[in-house]
Amino acid sequence: MPPLTVTQPHLPPLEEFIPYLEAIWDRRVLTNGGPMHQQLEAALCAYLGVPHISLFANGTAALLTAVQALELSGEVITTPFSFVAGAHALLWNGLTPVFADIDPETLNLDPARIEAAVTERTTGIMPVHCYGNPCDLAAIERIARARGLRVLYDAAHAFGVTVPDGSVLTAGDLSVLSFHATKVFNTFEGGAIVSHDAATKQRIDQLKNFGIVDETTVDAAGLNGKMSEVNAAFGLVQLQHIDAAIARRAQIDAHYRALLAEVPGITCVPPSGQTRSNHSYFPILVGSEYPVSRNALYTALKGQDILSRRYFHPLISHFPMYRALPSAAPRNLPVATRVAEQVLCLPIHTGMCDADVERVVTIVREGAACAAHS
């Protein structure tokens, strides 16, 4: 039996992809905003309910460009409980990340901690919709308006997520998506920026193409962030299956929650205010009531070829390029520090059957039972 992993790419039938590849070969257009690229942008705008989207080769290039497009400077408040790409994008743009603590329920940035972190050097906020659960959009918007700050949402986990007002991707000034192979919707590698108006999209599209305006004009130090036609074609195929994939993930999520409900010391992270979740991840918190540590449970699962993930551990603020920042001190981040020691993401992807879920939960239950009787 192959190892059971946290995430696994959803791969549609190969025969669906072949006509797209043949069209690319026939046209001899491989990149630079070709027909597949344009079709995918239009299809994603329609599916996600967003006004404008710019495709990228990966989510990190999209983050780098979004920071540049917003002309941020000085300090940007962000979360330590996330993947390192966000903070790296700030550092690469010459900015100082300021880490604020997270809410113990949603695991997203705590608005009260954002407010306390604002200084005269703050120009922006970069919240993350952790595990696809929406941030407190209204509270962050109030802080940003009152302080004159830009808001860039890292929405890498939030493809297709909606709140009562519509897509979570329309919040803030810009939202960045990742289409990495492990994401709910993927293009092998890829990413995107969601923007509100045509002028901003045009600027972003220039920045992702070296800052080129026309054949003789370059007006910004952009990068090469363009998505290829092959990646865009795969995205068009994937989009045809996305609703079924999310529906299956919802079933797995519900199965986990039902089976884990009575396990002492195990807390399933609740959804936070969305009207549609994409079930990107299935994080649990291994609390002090559970008889063994999070790391011991991780090891027990791994011993049975079940590859869970301590996601996010360590905190970004722990890494050497950030730990000297005053905001990175663990005493300033008590909730994030505790959660990083407790969190464990269990496998969830469309390749799983109900028996796989039950196999995972059996080991979680056995860990509790064996330790309880030792």
* Average pLDDT value for the chain: 96
Question: What span, in angstroms and rounded, lies between the C-alpha atoms of 246 and 276?
Answer: 10
What pLDDT was estimated at residue 373?
Answer: 43
What pLDDT was estimated at residue 372?
Answer: 47
Options 3.20.20.70, 1.10.3720.10, 3.90.1150.10, 1.20.1600.10; CATH of 243-372: 3.90.1150.10
- Counting beta carbons within 10 angstroms of the beta carbon of residue 230, is it exposed (0 to 12), middle (13 to 18) or buried (19 or more)? middle
Amino acid, single-letter form, for residue 306? I
**At residue 178, does pLDDT exceed 60?**
yes
Domain 4-100+107-239 has CATH 3.40.640.10: yes
Lowest mean pLDDT among 57-71, 242-256, 266-280: 266-280
Nearest to 273 by CA among 169, 120, 134: 134
Domain boundaries, the chain: 4-100+107-239, 243-372
What pLDDT was estimated at residue 272?
Answer: 77
Provide the token pair at 238.
């994937």
**At residue 127, does pLDDT exceed 70?**
yes
Helices 198-207 and 59-69: crossing angle, nearest 10°?
120
The whole model's pTM is what? 0.96
Q: Which helix (H) or strand (E) holds 117?
A: helix 111-117
Amino acid, single-letter form, for residue 79? T
What pLDDT was estimated at residue 370?
Answer: 59
**At residue 40, does pLDDT exceed 80?**
yes
**At residue 223, does pLDDT exceed 80?**
yes
Lowest mean pLDDT among 170-179, 222-231, 245-254, 268-277: 268-277
Contacts of 137 (CB under 8 A, 6+ apart): 163, 168, 171, 172
